Amino acid sequence: MLQPKRTKFRKAHKGRIHGDAKGGTALNFGAFGLKALEPERITARQIEAARRAITRHIKRQGRLWIRIFPDVPVSSKPAEVRMGSGKGSPEYWVARVKPGRVLFELDGVPGHIAKVAFERAAE
């Protein structure tokens, strides 16, 4: 799964996702793309599951680009632990995605195959 090799800080604030994406809104590599419509945090597991769904459907023809990277650590405390005593340890990594951001790009496949592949990935 995707995660940074090293980071400046171990833990990050939760934050909010405001506004539309400024960059990464146009297709740069492929002929077809999957674009975000809502602000959301997408986990590394979700990115990997979508990548597998797309590559299985296109059957190794064409090329796939992943345009987002999970660079924000999300921390959580273990179950049945009392409040206080600091922030929990990092559990997983997410990418903060704004509306309009291109998530995946495809090239070298027919349009109808790309459409079904992106529909499966979006589930």
Residue 12 within a domain? no
CA distance 13 to 11: 7
Q: What is the CATH number of the domain that holds 115?
A: 3.90.1170.10
Residue 80 within a domain? no
Residue 8 within a domain? no
> Which alpha helices (DSSP H) does the chain contain, by range?
44-58, 111-122
| Domain count for the chain | 1
Residue 19 within a domain? no
Residue 113 within a domain? yes
Look at residue 111 in the predicted model and tell me its pLDDT.
95
Q: Which domain holds residue 56?
A: 32-73+89-122
pLDDT band for 101, please (50, 70, 90 cuts).
very high
Contact by Cβ (8 Å): 103, 75: no
3-state secondary structure (DSSP) of residue 122:
helix
107: left (phi over 0), alpha (psi -120 to 50) or beta: beta
Interval 2-41: pLDDT, tens: 999 999 999 999 999 999 999 999 999 999 999 999 999 9
Burial annotation 1-12 (CB, 10 A radius, 16+ → b, else e): ebeeeeeeeeeb
Residue 20 within a domain? no
Residue 107 within a domain? yes
CA distance 60 to 24: 25
Residue 109 within a domain? yes
pTM of the model: 0.94
